[in-house]
Chains A and B, each alone.
Chain A
């Protein structure tokens, strides 16, 4: 693998990555800033207890706001973080692979002495790098928020595992996004599949008799309130995500190598 191929991919998405990261940092710091007043406000507690459990579960607000990490798991990780990752990965995968195929600028990169599989694996790794950057900024912002506004109170395992699981989900979305874009240069497929997985998880969470849908969805493993309370995914789950992403990256390289391209 040539480092320059990954570097080119990173150059392509770095501005967007910085933009998403800045948004995440500002949002988390804002949440951290208002946390002390929310955690001591009885009206908020009353409001939460008055809402239907299914609605709270859907919004990811099944943990209370008594801890900083529990509060962030509800207000950030439950919906916003996963949507940011879904959107970031599918859109930037399109920018890396789909757009150069559509506008034919890809032929320039493929005219250099790098194989097609090297090129697409380089783009995959660049996107994983972007994902890791977002995760790093998220963690740093949470730590900074805890230190700055909340006297350094932070439940480290919860914070780390929330981000690790979000990263693993992003890794798998990266894998199938690359595989689909290697086949057809349109964002429709990866976006549709991601939304279907998300919808399956939402339906499974709201209707107990359909909980099988949550188990089938890749988002089923993402239970922010439970993770924030100390429940961590099994090693088998973690390995399954990593192995799955690796298989999909390999599939992307095979599919891409067989495409009818200009070079």
Chain B
């Protein structure tokens, strides 16, 4: 059955408030009739440091989120679907969650994660899909997304020079001081190297764009195209 293979954590966690956490997990196990549910649920409870004995209505948001995580994946499903999974979790638990997701992935599980937390995506995902206005506007690997985006370099010279003259349609130059500039390359990198060849360059450092910048760039690019 498909339900046995899939675990789903909804974005808005609504639990049966009148039960204790233990009762809730017990009923989920009985309904799923899962042989390994108890064992794996126990491991998850330990992992997320969750005591499920309290009545759900009295639990904090973070505890409810942890209980929902345990309930959704207690049957050790092969496919996991998570919608904003770290919402309400404290930073320590967010770290625990990311570590757990990585381990589950190494165990061979397929994990779909929907989130607005870019660091979470960068640390857990291999492939990213960007949803815009309800449709999938892009699917790619994180590495490829970064390579496709504009490259940014920080260039330092051995002596003071006005680096403003480097600017042209393919190069955006932002001066940091009279020896250093941040240069964004919109075309081939060789163009920058050619321009720098006559200058006393001390160092060139590539500034890595994080996923949020890549995302914003793609979003803005899409909007410009739409206009």
Contacts and interface: CB of A to CB of B under 8 A. Distances in A.
Residue among B1, B12, B23, B31 with most chain A CB within 10 A: B31
Contact of A113 (B4, B7, B10, B23): B4
Interface in A90-147: 100, 103-105, 107-109, 111-114
A100 B31 CA distance: 16
Contacts of B40: none
A4 B28 contact: no
Given A108-B71, A111-B72, A262 B10 contact: yes
B68 to A, nearest CB: 8
Contacts of A107: 10, 14
B30 interface: yes
Nearest to B12: A104
B27 interface: yes
B108 interface: no
Given A4-B33, A100-B16, A262-B10, A108 B4 contact: no
A5 B4 CA distance: 17
Given A112-B3, A113-B4, A4 B12 contact: no
A56 interface: no
A7 B71 contact: no
Contacts of B28: 108, 112
Contacts of A263: 8
A114 B10 contact: no
Contact of A103 (B14, B33, B71): B14
B3 A111 contact: yes
B167 interface: no
A203 interface: no
B43 interface: no
Given A4-B33, A107-B10, A108-B16, A113 B3 contact: yes
B213 to A, nearest CB: 34
A112 B15 contact: no
A254 interface: no
B15 to A, nearest CB: 6
A2 interface: yes
A104 B3 CA distance: 18
A8 interface: yes
A113 B1 contact: yes
Contacts of B7: 111
Interface string B60-90: 0000000000011000000000000000000
A165 B27 CA distance: 34
Given A107-B10, A113-B4, A4 B15 contact: no
A111 B29 CA distance: 11
A109 B31 CA distance: 8
Interface in A1-50: 2, 4-5, 7-8, 11-12
A111 B14 contact: no
Interface in B1-48: 1-4, 7-8, 10, 12, 14-18, 23-24, 27-28, 30-33
Q: Which 10 A-B pairs have the closest CB atoms?
A: A112-B31, A104-B14, A113-B3, A113-B1, A4-B30, A105-B16, A112-B32, A105-B14, A103-B14, A8-B27
12 contacts: A2-B31, A7-B30, A8-B27, A103-B17, A105-B17, A108-B16, A108-B24, A111-B3, A111-B72, A112-B3, A113-B2, A113-B32
Interface of B: 1-4, 7-8, 10, 12, 14-18, 23-24, 27-28, 30-33, 71-72
Given A4-B31, A113-B2, 14 more contacts: A7-B30, A8-B31, A11-B27, A104-B10, A104-B12, A111-B3, A111-B7, A111-B8, A111-B72, A112-B32, A113-B1, A113-B3, A113-B4, A113-B33
